[in-house]
Structure 1
Amino acid sequence: MTNPILKIRNREFEKRDLLLYLLAAMNFSHIVDFMIMMPLGDYLMNSFNIGPGEFSVIVSAYTFSAGISSFFAAFLIDRFDRKTALIFTFTGFSVGTVLVGLANSYLLLVAARSLTGIFGGLVAALVLSVVSDLYSYRERGKAMGVVSAAFALASVIGVPIGLYLASQFSWHAPFFMVGGLASVFTIVTAFVFPKMKGHISSLPKPKPLQVIKNVISDRNQVYALLMGMTIILGQFLLVPFLTPYMMRNVGFSEETVTLIYLFGGGAVVFSAPLVGRLTDRIGPLKVFTIFLLSSFVLVLTITNLPKVPIYIALILTTIFFMMVNGRMIPANTMITAAVSPETRGSFMSFKSSIQQLSAALASLVSGAIMVIGDDGLFHNYNWVGILSICVSATSFLLAPRLKVAKGNE
């Protein structure tokens, strides 16, 4: 079968960078939708009179449904043109996000987030699959850096604007904004994106059990899935309560908390492309190791941070953003190369499923550990940090075992 990477290169080389930036824009709206929920924690806990446990359910509702939908999508995703899959998925994501904005009760909010997660969970897998089809392994680090920069832009632009809208109107407003953006990107995709069928094989499609068997019988794919799982588990033990902790324990207000995302995301806008180029130059394993070990220092510092001047907290959170994003770029480069193009969509859906379920589990675990004391402060975040480091450290053992699969050259 013709390598889809070469096929797309020959036919769409001039449009490749345009498509990459469109994928980054789609990833941007998806990330804003997910990220905005965390800094809205205090708004939601006050609006619905709920505690940390109930708030973690809102966060995990999205990731649980995303994990389930990604699992079932793994059996079907490689049968369809990438463009068709992107349009279908993003249309559902847009509708779900608007419904979140319309929710007027805790139960309706949980239901709407679950619906959004069904489609949102597929976005990341599709974006990474298309990027991997467009760029060979040797140049994929740079492309991953551009897509990862969407996280930075979401932090610099999306989250601050969303929080401003929430403070000026209500917590509903940011979701109307994201839903509108997602609708625009869906329309642009329909007109700009080419058909991408190079990954579709003329051979009979394997049955679901065979798809699972193909993955679990390949040690390389299993290592890649486990590596992705441990990274996300460690990360999402921390993320849901980072902003609420900074507000209650460190001293950020509703106005100044946006600075965490403004400075952190702004730094990542510049660091992500540099990390991508460094990944291509010296290899993803070395870059991953450097950023993983460096991030542990920041995790211990932030989860034990007392009330300090805002500028000190901002320096620490900004470096934290850079370290966490920096380890994801080489990690995704290695993980996407662990599978051949013909089955990459299914593999990435499995990866998304496992990571989304991991994020949901991590959110529930951190919600169970965290408590609000009589003093109104969060307690036990330090234990969450230690647990995060222990879980993330296992990825350090898995990364050296990953090999580049055929078709990624």
Structure 2
Amino acid sequence: MTTELAPRTERFFLLTLAGVQFSHILDFMIMMPLGPILMAAFGIGTHEFGLLVASYSFSAAISGVLAATFVDLFERKRMLLVCFALFALATLACALAPGFSMLLLARGLAGVFGGIMGALVQTMVGDVIPFSRRARASGLIASAFSLSTIAGVPLSLWLANHFGWQTPFILIAATSVLFIVVGLRFLPELRHHLSEEKRAHLLSATFSVLGEANHRHALLFSALLVFSGFTVIPYITVYAVNNVGIDPHDIPFVYLAGGFATFISARLIGQWADRHGKVEAYRWVALITIVPLLVLTHVGRLPLWGWLICSTSFFVLISGRMIPAMAVITSAAQPKLRGTFMSLNGTVQSLAMGLATTLAGYMIALDADGHVVGYPFAGYLAVGANLVAIWYVGRIVMHGHKP
């Protein structure tokens, strides 16, 4: 069951959710290009840096389990904006952290609220947007990733290089406050999922979700999807600087090019998936992704233009496959349990993200000359998980889909 909105209201609704996504995706993404700066500032290695990235994911996983017990008991808009405000405070705490341990704790707190926000955004898309337009809507929401790489990451890196690593987190906190005000104005209240029927206990909805085989298939597919990306993604900047020979000051161009390309491709992939089938679109994009994935993790020294070709094609395809995939995952949920399902999905994705980042962190190391070693093995692991996901997606049944 969906709550239909007028076309103009629907567009403002999706743009506002994209703004929410922009804030917490930028907060997560900025850690990866900040890798060399943070490693130098705190005197840490790849293992500790991996923990900084993974702490967000593992905290988001824990919060997803907790949120699954109550997320469908509250009106969507109010819950999203409360979590958004707490997320902004946690991100500000990152900027105020005096050392590695406190930054690790602050990243964990940001992950707690960011994880709930991500699940709620996808839940609200499923609540409002009909199945026939859901991939296109997911493409618009995915443009938040593109905008964060086009504008957010380069600007944040420029601020970090000129004013210190703390300034990007201050920028994200301020941006979050702005989008909270926008959300108060443009997000509709969503109550149709609320029921007078009382639950037997807090975990009854969680057990109902996990008790259905289709939900379990979708959650496993979701885990494979994320795992196959995050064995590689967190270490791209470190590899580019240390092995490929890219100047740290040129890293913003990498994210600018990748973000601009994905901004264009995300909408096109969403439209293609709605027109020709979400599963088929996912499989084709995921299959093609293998090529830049292997090139990116094996390539040696390159000029900037050569690296831009590798990294941009990787960004376009690795994020592009998420658009039809998230439409499939969202549509696998029983409508009355969608909030609980998407919270558990957020948990599964965060666990997969944290596991992939941590595992790759132990596979990857710096040698005596400062070069990254072990990155090709992370690439092989990503390809393996990607191939399993391509096969497994066929087991998912989508509600609202008419064969």
Q: TM-score range by the shorter chain?
A: over 0.9
- Does the alignment pair 1:286 with 2:280? yes
Counterpart AA for 1:323: L
Instruction: Give the whole-Å Cα distance in 1 for the aligned partners of 2:102 and 2:402.
Output: 44
Contact between 1:56 and 1:367, CA under 8 Å: does it hold in 2? yes
Runs of 4+ in 1 over 4 A off after TM superposition: 406-409
- Does the alignment pair 1:26 with 2:20? yes
User: Which residue, out of 68, 71, 76, partners 1:74?
Assistant: 68
- Does the alignment pair 1:9 with 2:13? no
The 10-residue stretch of structure 1 (85-94 or 193-202) with the greater mean CA deviation from structure 2: 193-202
Instruction: Give the whole-Å Cα distance in 2 for the aligned partners of 1:200 and 1:161.
Output: 41
- Does the alignment pair 1:208 with 2:195? no
The one-character-per-residue Cα deviations of 1:15-65 (angstroms, maximum 9, x if unpaired) are 111011000011011111000000000011100100000111111111111
- Does the alignment pair 1:302 with 2:293? no
User: Which residue, out of 308, 320, 334, partners 2:314?
Assistant: 320
Contact between 1:136 and 1:408, CA under 8 Å: does it hold in 2? no
Residues 266/139 of structure 1: CA separation in 2 closer, same or farther (3 Å cut): same
In the other structure, the counterpart of 2:381 is 387
TM-score normalised per structure 2: 0.97
- Does the alignment pair 1:179 with 2:150? no
User: Which residue, out of 338, 352, 356, partners 2:350?
Assistant: 356
Cα deviation for residue 341 of structure 1 reads: 1.8
Instruction: Give the whole-Å Cα distance in 1 for the aligned partners of 2:296 and 2:83.
Output: 36
Counterpart AA for 1:230: L
Correspondence 1:8-407 to 2 at 5 A:
8-9=3-4, 12-405=6-399
The SS at the match of 1:183 is: helix
Instruction: Give the whole-Å Cα distance in 2 for the aligned partners of 1:262 and 1:319.
Output: 13
Counterpart AA for 2:341: F
TM-score normalised per structure 1: 0.96
Contact between 1:145 and 1:275, CA under 8 Å: does it hold in 2? yes
Structure 1: runs of 5+ lacking an equivalent: none
Cα deviation for residue 158 of structure 1 reads: 0.3
The 10-residue stretch of structure 1 (36-45 or 204-213) with the greater mean CA deviation from structure 2: 204-213
The SS at the match of 1:201 is: coil
Cα deviation for residue 202 of structure 1 reads: 2.4
Instruction: Give the whole-Å Cα distance in 2 for the aligned partners of 1:248 and 1:113.
Output: 25
The SS at the match of 1:256 is: helix
Instruction: Give the whole-Å Cα distance in 2 for the aligned partners of 1:194 and 1:210.
Output: 28
Contact between 1:221 and 1:339, CA under 8 Å: does it hold in 2? yes
Q: Alignment identity in percent?
A: 34
Cα deviation for residue 252 of structure 1 reads: 1.2
Cα deviation for residue 308 of structure 1 reads: 1.0
The one-character-per-residue Cα deviations of 1:294-337 (angstroms, maximum 9, x if unpaired) are 11111111100100111011011111111111110010010000
Instruction: Give the whole-Å Cα distance in 1 for the aligned partners of 2:230 and 2:201.
Output: 33
Count of matched residue pairs: 403
Root-mean-square deviation (CA), in Å? 1.4
Cα deviation for residue 375 of structure 1 reads: 1.2
Instruction: Give the whole-Å Cα distance in 2 for the aligned partners of 1:304 and 1:401.
Output: 33
Contact between 2:90 and 2:110, CA under 8 Å: does it hold in 1? yes
The SS at the match of 1:287 is: helix
Cα deviation for residue 225 of structure 1 reads: 0.2
Instruction: Give the whole-Å Cα distance in 1 for the aligned partners of 2:200 and 2:395.
Output: 27
Contact between 2:76 and 2:120, CA under 8 Å: does it hold in 1? yes
Residues 328/263 of structure 1: CA separation in 2 closer, same or farther (3 Å cut): same
Counterpart AA for 1:255: H
Cα deviation for residue 209 of structure 1 reads: 3.5
Cα deviation for residue 201 of structure 1 reads: 2.0
The SS at the match of 2:381 is: helix
Residues 32/204 of structure 1: CA separation in 2 closer, same or farther (3 Å cut): same
